Amino acid sequence: MPSLKPAQRPLLRLPLRPARRPSLRPRPVELRERDHARARTALVLSVLTAAAVMTLDAAGDDGSPVDPLRTGAAEVFGPLESGATAVGDPIAEAVDFVGEIHRLRSDNERLESENAALAAEVATGVVDRNRLAEYDALTEVADGGGFELVPARVVAIGPAQTFARTVTIDAGSVDGVRPDLTVVNGAGLVGRVLRTSRHTATVLLAVDAGSVIGGRLDRSMELGFLRGDGSLGADGVLTLDLVDPQAVPAGGDTVVTWGSRGSAPYVAGVPVGEVTRVDTSAGDQSVTASVRPFADMSALDLVGVVVGPDRSGQRAVLSRPEPRGTR
């Protein structure tokens, strides 16, 4: 009897095995190998393609052959980003509300006292109110500095994992925005325009590690260069290297833009930030100062592009109003 059992098992299994083997087992193994071979080919070709694109893009000093593709992508993604931002306003509002109740409370109080009449006209959305305040501040910048500004909203922000501090704004070449124009907000300097598409532009923030800005200390009029280090938010810091090694900035000094030739990429006299720390190195006799930017680069929304007198665009321009009584 016990010798029967082992004999029975294969008998029971036999009907299953022949059915399985030819239909499922051998074919998948064969196909899988072919799949792997295809995947390997795809991987090799993809890596080569990516390397070729990088080489092409990195080699060209100005006018890389990839630029037309970049412009094309901007024409497609720009409007999508503007649209997504419009759709996402309620989300932004919710996040703002949850995350920054303190700031909102004081903002609301200030706005209500300062701007009661205007605030009543505007929808009561939190973001709307903040935006109104920013718009007010921007008008003041245009007013006080004598700049002509094209207002724009930030519609996309470069993620931290790309290591570049760039944003997309919803004003483009149609609105008179060109590369190498200064971008400001109500608080101070934001950055400069890198490239434009028809309806959007890419802005390099002042805190980007590749950004260098000529700066001037307000009290001593000393000149220097401001460099970003890629950090954002509260710890966003610019480093100021002064041209004159004898000049020592003081804490609390304000740094304004020095201004470039032809006002490109930076117009003169835009407030950038405040000196927070001064380091003197005895070795090379150089002085570096840490400058905290006035503009909160991690919470940008409404910005203005400083446009020159020769601009041609469709968007309304904020400028110094005509003095009353001159007409």
Partner 1 sequence: MSLLRVVASAVLILLAITLQVSLFANLSVAGVVPDLALLVVVAAAIVRGPAYATVLGLVAGLAVDLAPPADGVAGRWALALAVAGWLAGQVRADARQSALATIVTVAAASLTATSLYALSGLVLSEPGVSVAAALEVLPVTVLYNLAVTPLVVPLVVWLLRRLDPAPARW
Where does this chain bind partner 1 (CB under 8 A)? Answer: 28, 31-32, 35-36, 38-39, 41-43, 46-47, 49-55, 57-58, 66, 69-70, 72-74, 76-78, 80-81, 84-85, 87-88, 91-92, 95-96, 155-168, 194, 197, 200-204, 208-210, 229-230, 232-233, 298
Closer by beta carbon to partner 1, 57 or else 218: 57
Which C-beta is closer to partner 1: that of 14 or that of 54?
A: 54
Q: Which is nearer to partner 1, 38 or 105 (CB)?
A: 38
CB of 197: closest distance to partner 1 in angstroms?
A: 7
Q: How far is the CB of 58 from partner 1 (least distance, A)?
A: 5
Nearest alpha carbon to residue 191 among 139, 220, 228, 162: 228
Distances (CA, A) of 237 to 29, 31, 63, 289, 323: 58, 56, 31, 10, 39
All residues at 6 or more sequence positions from 158 whose CB lies less than 8 Å from its CB, including other chains: 164, 165, 166, 167
Q: Can you tell me the distance from the alpha carbon of 211 to that of 238, in angstroms, rounded to the nearest whole number?
A: 10
**Single-letter residue type at 99:** G
Nearer to partner 1, 91 or 243 (CB): 91
Smallest CA-to-CA distance from 165 within 140, 190, 137, 186 is with: 190
In the complex, least distance from residue 118 CB atom to partner 1, rounded to whole angstroms: 25
Q: Rounding to the nearest 10 degrees, give the CA dihedral for residues 133, 178, 92, 164.
A: -120
Distance of closest approach, residue 311 Cβ to partner 1, in angstroms: 21
| Smallest distance from partner 1 to CB 244, Å | 26
Q: Closest CB to partner 1 among 128 and 218?
A: 128
Give the Cα separation of 204 and 191 in Å (integer). Answer: 5
- Least gap, CB of 299 to partner 1 (angstroms): 10
Taking CA atoms, 326 is separated from 113, 318, 321, 322, 323, in Å, by 32, 19, 11, 8, 6
Strand spans (E) along the chain: 149-157, 166-169, 182-184, 189-196, 201-205, 212-217, 223-228, 238-242, 254-257, 271-281, 286-293, 302-306
Sign (positive/negative) of CA torsion 227, 228, 233, 237?
A: negative
Judged by beta carbon, residue 72 or residue 308, the one nearer partner 1 is 72
**Which CB, 165 or 216, lies closer to partner 1?**
165
Q: Whole-number minimum distance, CB 51 to partner 1, in Å? A: 7
**CB-nearer residue toward partner 1: 142 or 295:** 295
* Nearest distance, CB of residue 206 and partner 1, angstroms: 13
Q: Is the peptide bond before 265 cis (omega within 30 degrees of 0)?
A: yes
d(CA 162, CA 129): 32
Taking the complex as a whole, how short is the minimal distance between the CB of residue 271 and partner 1, in angstroms?
24
176/267 Cα distance (integer angstroms):
16
Query: In the complex with partner 1, which residue's Cβ is closer, 47 or 122?
Result: 47
